[in-house]
């Protein structure tokens, strides 16, 4: 049983379970999900490739001193944000974590204005004032990226309360990590949402670590089982397969939109880099990163599209080249963008009731 395993043994077991049918006595294999139409599949891959290349650029610029403060990269988790975002509409709202660049791009935030924000430029989505961790773009349904662990859960629950009163069918989504399930926000908000039958989807991105601590060292039982005690439908999915995430999100969002109340998805995923700028991730078990890279979400998506979706490998290569050129352009324009005017910063900070 997984509960009797620790460290790299447990990781290897869970990775194996999402690749082969479950054996007797083990968890069910997460659904693979049917591929959408060819054009949509390619767009989903394009968005994931953009997130990957964007984050690698942010990492490079940070190491050169162009991105200040701290930054938390989404590399490895692209399938979660893109899979869920592909199930949403204009009436929906999204709350993310401080590791929110991927979610921001997935919901449609302009990549140039997002990079400019990372660089602290006046042309940034928040005028260069939010930095890496606190992006807001209401024009693209993003109500915020929150630096407080579990903050996105509270924000999305509040947004769901507002949406339910508007009666227009909107759904709120909260992205959060496995570490947040041990915060007070988690139990209180899920209970509140269930009692009021709020239209909210909670997406736990279980990337194996709460900062530097393996989740199994601090989290009892299975995360996917916790919402079930409140009567909230809860599903565990392969968070490295964007089409599996999309399929689960499609069903969950539809139920929430139709009045079935809160829904929960646990996406089994993995971050390929450290928690933040100061983390070399030396706490990983030997071979663990290599195990998860065998399930790289870009590789999985490419394989499924070419094997099941009638997509040619050359079409995927073309997207890779297109995004590479785009990211180079983003870098050039971002570094050339103007810094905020200190006078404007001072006036913007004044409280005006």
Q: Are strands 93-97 and 213-214 parallel, antiparallel or unpaired?
A: unpaired
For 205, phi and psi rounded to 5 degrees? -90, 95
Do the beta carbons of residue 31 and residue 247 sit within 8 Å? yes
Rounded to an integer, the average pLDDT of 194-203 is 98
Quick check: 95 pLDDT over 70? yes
What pLDDT, on a 0 to 100 scale, did the predictor assign at position 25? Answer: 30
Instruction: Give per-residue pLDDT as tens, 230-261.
Output: 999 999 999 999 999 999 999 999 999 999 99
Quick check: 350 pLDDT over 70? no
Do the beta carbons of residue 295 and residue 15 sit within 8 Å? yes
In a domain, 337, yes or no: no
In a domain, 121, yes or no: no
Rounded to an integer, the average pLDDT of 302-328 is 97
What pLDDT, on a 0 to 100 scale, did the predictor assign at position 324? Answer: 98
For 2, phi and psi rounded to 5 degrees? -60, -35
Find all residues with CB under 8 Å of 205, minimum gap 6, and list them.
77, 80, 175, 176, 177, 178, 239, 267, 269
In a domain, 153, yes or no: yes
Quick check: 199 pLDDT over 60? yes
Do the beta carbons of residue 98 and residue 80 sit within 8 Å? no
What pLDDT, on a 0 to 100 scale, did the predictor assign at position 305? Answer: 97
What pLDDT, on a 0 to 100 scale, did the predictor assign at position 19? Answer: 42
In a domain, 159, yes or no: yes
**Calpha distance 206→279 (Å, rounded):** 18
Quick check: 24 pLDDT over 60? no
Quick check: 140 pLDDT over 80? yes
Kindly report the CATH number assigned to the domain that includes residue 217: 3.40.50.970
Do the beta carbons of residue 334 and residue 116 sit within 8 Å? yes
For residue 158, give its domain range: 68-102+129-290
Question: What would you measure as the largest C-alpha separation in the chain, in angstroms?
Answer: 67
In a domain, 286, yes or no: yes
For the chain, percent of residues with pLDDT exceeding 90: 71
What pLDDT, on a 0 to 100 scale, did the predictor assign at position 219? Answer: 81
Quick check: 20 pLDDT over 60? no
In a domain, 30, yes or no: no
Whole-structure pTM value:
0.88
In a domain, 302, yes or no: no
Domain count, the chain: 1
In a domain, 5, yes or no: no
β partners of residue 59? none
């Amino acid at each position: 049983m997984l509960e009797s395993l620790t460290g790299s043994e447990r990781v290897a077991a869970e990775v194996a379970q999402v690749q082969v049918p479950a054996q007797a006595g083990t968890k069910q294999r997460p659904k693979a999900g049917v591929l959408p139409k060819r054009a949509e599949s390619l767009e989903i891959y394009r968005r994931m490739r953009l997130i990957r290349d964007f984050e690698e650029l942010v990492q490079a610029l940070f190491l050169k001193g162009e991105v200040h403060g701290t930054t938390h990269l989404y590399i490895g988790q692209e399938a979660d944000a893109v899979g869920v975002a592909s199930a949403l509409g204009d009436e929906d709202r999204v709350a993310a974590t401080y590791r929110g660049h991927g979610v921001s791009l997935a919901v449609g935030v302009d990549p140039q204005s997002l990079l400019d924000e990372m660089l602290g430029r006046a042309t940034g989505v928040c005028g260069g004032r939010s930095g890496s961790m606190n992006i807001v773009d209401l024009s693209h349904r993003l109500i915020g990226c929150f630096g407080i662990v579990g903050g996105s859960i509270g924000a999305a629950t509040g947004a769901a309360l507002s949406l339910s009163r508007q009666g227009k069918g909107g759904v709120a989504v909260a992205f959060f990590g496995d570490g947040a399930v041990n915060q007070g926000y988690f139990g209180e908000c899920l209970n509140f949402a269930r009692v009021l039958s709020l239209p909210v989807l909670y997406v736990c991105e279980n990337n194996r670590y709460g900062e530097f601590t393996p989740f199994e060292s601090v989290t009892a039982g299975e995360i996917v089982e916790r919402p079930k005690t409140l009567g909230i439908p809860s599903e565990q999915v392969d968070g490295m397969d964007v089409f599996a995430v999309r399929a689960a999100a499609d069903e969950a969002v539809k139920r929430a939109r139709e009045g079935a109340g809160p829904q929960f998805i646990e996406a089994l995923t993995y971050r390929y880099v450290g928690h933040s700028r100061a983390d070399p991730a030396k706490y990983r078990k030997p071979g663990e990163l290599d195990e998860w890279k065998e399930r790289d979400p870009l590789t999985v998506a490419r394989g499924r599209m070419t094997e099941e979706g009638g997509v040619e490998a050359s079409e995927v290569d073309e997207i890779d080249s297109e995004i590479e050129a785009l990211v180079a352009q983003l870098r050039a324009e971002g570094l050339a963008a103007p810094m905020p005017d200190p006078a404007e910063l001072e006036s913007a900070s004044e409280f005006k009731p």
